[in-house]
Amino acid sequence: MLRRTWLVFSQAVTVAVALLFVVVTLKPEWLPRSGGSMVLPAPTIVQAAAPAGAAASAAAGYSGAARRAAPAVVSIVASKLRRKNPHADDPRFRFFFGDGPDTPQAQTGLGSGVIVSPEGYLLTNNHVIEGADDIDVQLADGRQGRARVVGADPETDLAVLKIELDRLPVIAFGNAPLLQVGDVVLAIGNPFNVGQTVTAGIVSALGRNQLGLSTFENFIQTDAAINPGNSGGALVDTQGNLVGINTAIFSRSGGSLGIGFAIPVDTARQVLESLVADGRVTRGWIGVEPRDLTPEIAETFGLPVKAGVLITGVLQDGPASKGGLRPGDVVLRIDDAPVANTAELLSAVAALKPQSRAKIGVQRGAQALDVTLTVAQRPQAVRGPER
């Protein structure tokens, strides 16, 4: 009897151990864990939507800004026919230089642009379309169209084009004067013709000038990658609003080195409105040759001021000459706006309306006085061969 009981017990233990081995091997989730709780199937995770606007988390990135701005950024192909040499039909010319192509060849340039109105107006750089015979625009949605030049302003390197397409995406204008160094910005364009590309960086500096890029310089500097083909594209804030038109880079290799420049949107807007309304930008002019006043010059001439713009030359019979401005005067104010350097003087004078009267505050030796003159219209820009 005892032997039979032991045999039944042994068989039961053997079966139990075998079952335990099978469960551990094939269904370990059936076994209890510490604390006695049973492991349940993993729940389905629903990711909460990231908050919109400036409060968006770092994980959300800047995809919202890119989605809002990118549809309004276009690619531009500007074609210029290479003119046939007028001597190409001369046998002697053909003997020395060969026959050459029988038909003119087209040279193409690539750039970007930004649609700024539902009517089809778009902003780009003047150097992107300068001298072009044909300008083709491709939208981010794949549509294409031929653009015509509404007007160009070489002195700011801006141009306005117009395309005739329906249901155009339009970018919103931001407020460039509110930008601060360190603000995040995105550059959108078509670098190297690889297709629309978005790069991110920060505002590295504001008010950059004396770079020799254009007459009126007040650039936003950014380290967002800007490369050939980005010219005329959009610089946007984290809300997707346009704050600048990408224009140039500092580079020794032709690629981005982290120093790019954009024209502030407030300047671009003024040029846009003038070109659409009048076909040209009208600016004030007084006819002087200025240079920045340095502490050394001020000390040499015994001037009581340390900042301002020294007038080194006055155009004969120009507005400044007729108003009594003299070489050696230091301009301190245009009307009520102080000017501390040549760039500020140039911008302040350009903002004056032709035929208006302006009061110029100057320092003449030890004497401070006001000179009143009649503003003229700034002559059309004459660009040198390097431009």
CATH number at 366 reads 2.30.42.10
What local confidence, expressed as pLDDT, does residue 337 receive? 87
Q: How far is CA 297 from the centre of its chain?
A: 37
Please report, for residues 28, 39, 167, the alpha-carbon distance to residue 32 in angstroms, rounded to integers and kept in the order given. 9, 7, 63
CB 232 within 8 A of CB 246: yes
SS3 annotation, 199-267 = EEEEEEEEEECCCCCCCCCCEEEECCCCCCCCCCCEEECCCCCEEEEEEEECCCCCCCCCCEEEEEHHH
Considering the domain architecture, whether residues 124 and 199 belong to the same structural domain is answered as: no
Q: For this structure, is 87 an active site residue?
A: no
Considering the domain architecture, whether residues 330 and 292 belong to the same structural domain is answered as: yes
Q: For this structure, is 274 an active site residue?
A: no
Tell me, yes or no, whether 168 lies in a domain.
Answer: no
Tell me, yes or no, whether 116 lies in a domain.
Answer: yes
> Could you list the residue range(s) of the whole structural domain that residue 77 is in?
66-84+104-163
Tell me, yes or no, whether 371 lies in a domain.
Answer: yes
Considering the domain architecture, whether residues 157 and 221 belong to the same structural domain is answered as: no
Considering the domain architecture, whether residues 339 and 273 belong to the same structural domain is answered as: no
Q: For this structure, is 231 an active site residue?
A: yes
Q: Which one of 75, 112, 204, 231 is the catalytic residue?
A: 231
Considering the domain architecture, whether residues 212 and 137 belong to the same structural domain is answered as: no
Considering the domain architecture, whether residues 182 and 256 belong to the same structural domain is answered as: yes
Considering the domain architecture, whether residues 259 and 220 belong to the same structural domain is answered as: yes
What local confidence, expressed as pLDDT, does residue 387 receive? 29
CATH number at 132 reads 2.40.10.10
Tell me, yes or no, whether 41 lies in a domain.
Answer: no
Q: Which amino acid is at 354?
A: P
Sign of the torsion angle spanned by Cα atoms 262, 267, 271, 273: positive
What local confidence, expressed as pLDDT, does residue 54 receive? 46
What local confidence, expressed as pLDDT, does residue 193 receive? 85
Considering the domain architecture, whether residues 327 and 346 belong to the same structural domain is answered as: yes
Number of structural domains found in the chain: 3
Tell me, yes or no, whether 368 lies in a domain.
Answer: yes
Beta strands in 24-128 (DSSP E): 73-81, 106-115, 121-125
Considering the domain architecture, whether residues 273 and 294 belong to the same structural domain is answered as: no
CB 70 within 8 A of CB 62: no
Tell me, yes or no, whether 269 lies in a domain.
Answer: yes
Tell me, yes or no, whether 240 lies in a domain.
Answer: yes
Tell me, yes or no, whether 18 lies in a domain.
Answer: no
Considering the domain architecture, whether residues 244 and 314 belong to the same structural domain is answered as: no
Q: Which one of 127, 153, 237, 347 is the catalytic residue?
A: 127
Structure tokens at 123: 């902003």
Segments of the chain scoring below 70 in pLDDT:
1-13, 15-60, 82-107, 251-256, 381-387
Q: Which one of 75, 112, 157, 329 is the catalytic residue?
A: 157
Q: Per residue in 105-150, pLDDT tens?
A: 566 778 999 999 999 999 999 999 998 999 999 999 999 999 999 9
